């Protein structure tokens, strides 16, 4: 009987279509992001590690309300600007709704580590940009994920909704 890890690895080799966006996942050693422009570097080696994600918690998705998002494998961490366009529909068209993000990176063993996040500048709907810097992190040159969440208020209660999970690559400031 094959080990569960082998079954997971085999299930990952597929084409996934979500919301009209195609994401290709490949064999065990294929990077989560496209590193085709790099050759033989250490960063290529560390970014090629696949996440151990049997429940699909980190699978790429983007809600249709996010009408523009960074491309898969976009660099993050050295002040690069990431842009999202959001139509406001999933946060009840609340003019004071906020978008926030949570970052994750993939360790050598495939484990995923949460590494913080924050709010994205802006409120309601429209174009949201972020260009944060990350310093001295173990995420340097690694693949990871950016989870986008919207929050709005109903009465006295805040309500959250997941808007997307986007594969990124960390380019950490020194």
Tell me the CATH class for 4-170. mainly beta
Kindly give, in sequence order, each residue whose CB lies less than 8 Å from that of residue 112, ignoring residues fewer than 6 positions away.
Answer: 51, 52, 53, 57, 58, 104, 105, 106, 144, 145
Q: Cβ(32)–Cβ(73) under 8 Å?
A: yes
What is the pLDDT, as a whole number, of residue 94?
95
- One digit per residue, pLDDT tens: the chain, 174 residues? 443 433 333 333 333 333 333 333 333 333 333 333 333 333 444 456 888 888 889 999 999 999 999 999 999 888 889 999 999 999 999 999 999 999 999 999 999 999 889 999 999 999 999 987 777 678 888 899 999 999 999 888 999 999 999 999 998 876
3-state secondary structure of 158: strand
CB neighbours (10 Å) of residue 121? 11
Q: Where are the chain's structural domains?
A: 4-170
CA distances from 144 to 1, 87, 96, 141 (A): 31, 26, 29, 10
| Structure token digits, residue 11 | 């299930």
**Helix ranges restricted to H, the chain:** 4-12, 42-47
Q: Is the dihedral of CA 55, 34, 139, 110 positive or negative?
A: positive
**What region, left, alpha or beta, does residue 13 occupy, with left being phi > 0 and alpha being psi -120 to 50 degrees?**
beta
Alpha carbons within 13 A on the beta-carbon side of 107: 8
The enclosing H or E element of 146 equals strand 143-154
């Amino acid at each position: 009987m094959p080990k569960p890890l082998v079954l997971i690895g085999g299930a990952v080799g597929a084409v996934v279509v979500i919301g009209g966006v195609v994401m290709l996942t490949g064999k065990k050693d294929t990077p989560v992001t496209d590193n085709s422009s790099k050759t033989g570097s250490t960063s290529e080696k560390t970014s090629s590690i696949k996440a151990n994600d049997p429940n699909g918690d980190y699978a790429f998705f983007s809600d249709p309300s996010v009408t523009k998002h960074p491309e898969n494998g976009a660099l993050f961490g050295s002040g690069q600007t990431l842009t999202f366009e959001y139509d406001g529909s999933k946060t009840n068209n609340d003019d004071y709704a906020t978008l926030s993000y949570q970052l994750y990176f993939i360790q050598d063993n495939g484990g995923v580590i949460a590494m913080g996040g924050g709010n994205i500048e802006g409120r309601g709907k429209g174009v949201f940009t972020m260009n944060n810097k990350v310093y001295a992190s173990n995420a340097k040159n690694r693949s990871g994920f950016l989870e986008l969440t919207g929050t709005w208020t109903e009465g006295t209660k805040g309500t959250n909704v997941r808007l997307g999970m986007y594969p990124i690559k960390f380019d950490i400031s020194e």
